[in-house]
Amino acid sequence: MKIAFLDRDGTIIEDYEDEKWREIEKPVFLKGAIEALKIIKQKGYEIIIVTNQYLINERIITLDQYKKINQRFLNYLKANNIKVLDVFFCPHSKEEKCDCFKPKPGLIKQALEKYPNIDLSNSFIVGDSKSDVKLGKHFNLLCFGINVNNEGCINVESLKEIVKYI
């Protein structure tokens, strides 16, 4: 099974300053994101979201708020006939030194444990942070950085732009 490991905030939906997330109730999809996800699926990739949600344990948003936004995110995709295989999130604050805060490998390790048939050599990762591209490098994944320069990764301007490479 080949996987598109996708960051969520700033990659598929709008991201905000930490404090601003307090008042966010629903996701705002970035231009071209839905179309890109449809093409990714058409090309035979399953979608796994890997997202740092340290705002939960830093008490800026509640776990419940995260879950509501995530459900709305998935519902909107479902309404567009885009099935997401799974979502793995890190709720830990930066101080907790967990193993899943990207670029730590934990979120992808969790995915590999749950889905042993993942073929990393035919998978890829997309994100808008250095932590995303570093995570990709850790697993030697084909890697796309949205407006983030990092050696060994393809720099793109949006999720939509990656479809020409896959």
Instruction: Choose which of 3, 11, 89, 92 interacts with Zn ion (CB under 5 A).
Output: 92
Six-digit token pair at 56? 């939960």
> Which three-class secondary structure state does DSSP give residue 4?
strand
Instruction: Report CA 130 to chain centroid distance, whole Å.
Output: 13
Instruction: Report, in Å, the least distance between residue 154 CB and Zn ion.
Output: 27
Q: Are 36 and 78 in contact (CB under 8 A)?
A: no
Separation CA 107–CA 154 (nearest Å):
22
Q: What is the DSSP letter of 137?
A: H
* Residue 1 beta carbon to Mg ion: minimum distance, rounded to whole angstroms: 24
Applying CB under 5 A, among 60, 87, 98, 112 the residue interacting with Zn ion is 98
**Least distance between Mg ion and beta carbon 61 (Å):** 15
Using CB under 5 A as the binding rule, whether residue 54 contacts Zn ion is answered as no
Catalog residues that contact Mg ion under the rule CB under 5 A: 7, 9-10, 128-129
Catalog residues that contact Zn ion under the rule CB under 5 A: 90, 92, 98, 100-101
